[in-house]
C-alpha cells in the first residue's frame, strides 16, 4: 500500500516537473484535424468523379461533427502555450508552437469553407449542374497540400512547399474556363478559391498576401480583349466569380 502511494506521488512529481511536450500534443491534434480536412477534400473529389450526391452528403454530415476536433486543437495550443511559459524544460517549444498557432484559425476556416463547398457540391449534383472537369483534380491537389502542411509543421519548417502546392492547384483551376450551369456550381468555384486562401494563410501569409499569391480569376482587360478577338464565338465569355467566407 505504502509502495503504491509512494509510486503515485513520484509519478505526480515527475509530471509536474516534466510536463508533456506541448509540440507533440499540438502535432497529434493537428494530425486529426488535417486528416479530417484532407479526407473531406478527397471524398468530395470522388463524389464529383462519380456524380454521387449521396457521397457528398456524407462528407457534409461528417464535417458538421468536426467542431469538437477544432476545439480540441485550440485547447491543446492554449494549454501548450501555458506549459511553454512556466516550465523551463519546455521554453524552447514556444517558437515551434507559433507555427501551429498561426495555422489554427485558417485551418478552422478551411474546414468551414469546405463544409459550404460540400453543401454546394451536393446541391449541384442533385440539380445535375455542370461543374468544370478539372475541379476533382484541384480538390485532390488541395488535399495533398494539407498533408504537406502537416509534414512541414512536424519538421518545424517554413511551409514553402505547401504554399507552392496550393498555388499550383489554383493555377490548374484558373487555367480552365470557370463556367457552370447554375448558382451552386458558381458557389463551388468560389468556395474552392476560399479554401486556397485559407490554406495559404495557414502557412503564415496574411489574407491580402494569400489572395495576391493566387493567379487572377480573369486575364487583364487588354489581354482578354486580344484573346476574345481570336477566340471562337462560343468561348468568348467567362462568367465572373467572387470569393467569400461563410
Residue predicted with more confidence, 205 or 243: 205
Residue predicted with more confidence, 246 or 35: 35
Give pLDDT, residue 15: 40
C-alpha R_g of the chain: 22
73-77 LR contacts (CB < 8 Å, sep 24+): 73/26, 73/29, 73/30, 73/32, 73/33, 73/104, 73/107, 74/104, 74/108, 76/22, 76/25, 76/26, 76/28, 76/29, 77/26, 77/29, 77/101, 77/104
Q: Given a cut of 60, is residue 12 above it in pLDDT? A: no
Query: Average model confidence (pLDDT) for the chain?
Result: 80
The 10s digit of each residue's pLDDT in 13-35 is: 334 445 678 888 888 999 999 99
Contact 50, 56 (CB under 8 A): no
Give pLDDT, residue 19: 62
CB half-sphere exposure, 22, CA atoms < 13 A: 28
- Cα separation of 138 and 83, whole Å? 39
Residue predicted with more confidence, 161 or 233: 161
Give pLDDT, residue 79: 85
Please give the domain boundaries of the chain with CATH numbers for all domains: 16-235 (1.20.58)
- Cα separation of 3 and 181, whole Å? 74
CB half-sphere exposure, 25, CA atoms < 13 A: 21
Give pLDDT, residue 41: 98
Give pLDDT, residue 166: 96
Give mean pLDDT, residues 197-203: 97
Give mean pLDDT, residues 143-156: 95
Give, as one character, the DSSP assignment of residue 235.
Answer: G
Q: Given the C-alpha cell 514556444, which residue does it identify?
A: 94
What percentage of the chain reaches a pLDDT higher than 90?
52
Give pLDDT, residue 35: 96
DSSP 87-123: -GGGTTHHHHHHHHHHHHHHHHHHHHHHHHHHHHHHH
Give pLDDT, residue 231: 40
Locate 194 and state its grid cell. Answer: 476560399
Amino acid at each position: 500500500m505504502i509502495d503504491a502511494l509512494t509510486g503515485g506521488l513520484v509519478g505526480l512529481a515527475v509530471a509536474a516537473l516534466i510536463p508533456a511536450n506541448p509540440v507533440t500534443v499540438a502535432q497529434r491534434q493537428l494530425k486529426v484535424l488535417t486528416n479530417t480536412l484532407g479526407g473531406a477534400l478527397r471524398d468530395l473529389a470522388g463524389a464529383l468523379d462519380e456524380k454521387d450526391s449521396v457521397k457528398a452528403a456524407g462528407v457534409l454530415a461528417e464535417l458538421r461533427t468536426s467542431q469538437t476536433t477544432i476545439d480540441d486543437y485550440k485547447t491543446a495550443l492554449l494549454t501548450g502555450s501555458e506549459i511553454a511559459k512556466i516550465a523551463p524544460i519546455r521554453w524552447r517549444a514556444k517558437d515551434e508552437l507559433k507555427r501551429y498557432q498561426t495555422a489554427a484559425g485558417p485551418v478552422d476556416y478551411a474546414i468551414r469553407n469546405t463544409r459550404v463547398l460540400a453543401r454546394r457540391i451536393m446541391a449541384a449534383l442533385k440539380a445535375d449542374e455542370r461543374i468544370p472537369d478539372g475541379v476533382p483534380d484541384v480538390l485532390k491537389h488541395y488535399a495533398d497540400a494539407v498533408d504537406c502542411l502537416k509534414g512541414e509543421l512536424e519538421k518545424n519548417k517554413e511551409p514553402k512547399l505547401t504554399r507552392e502546392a496550393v498555388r499550383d492547384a489554383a493555377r490548374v483551376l484558373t487555367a480552365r474556363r470557370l463556367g457552370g450551369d447554375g448558382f451552386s456550381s458558381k458557389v463551388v468555384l468560389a468556395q474552392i478559391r476560399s479554401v486556397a486562401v485559407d490554406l495559404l494563410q495557414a502557412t503564415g501569409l496574411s489574407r491580402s498576401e494569400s489572395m495576391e499569391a493566387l493567379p487572377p480569376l480573369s486575364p487583364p482587360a487588354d489581354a482578354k480583349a486580344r484573346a476574345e478577338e481570336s477566340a471562337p464565338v462560343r468561348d468568348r465569355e467567362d462568367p465572373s466569380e467572387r470569393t467569400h467566407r461563410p
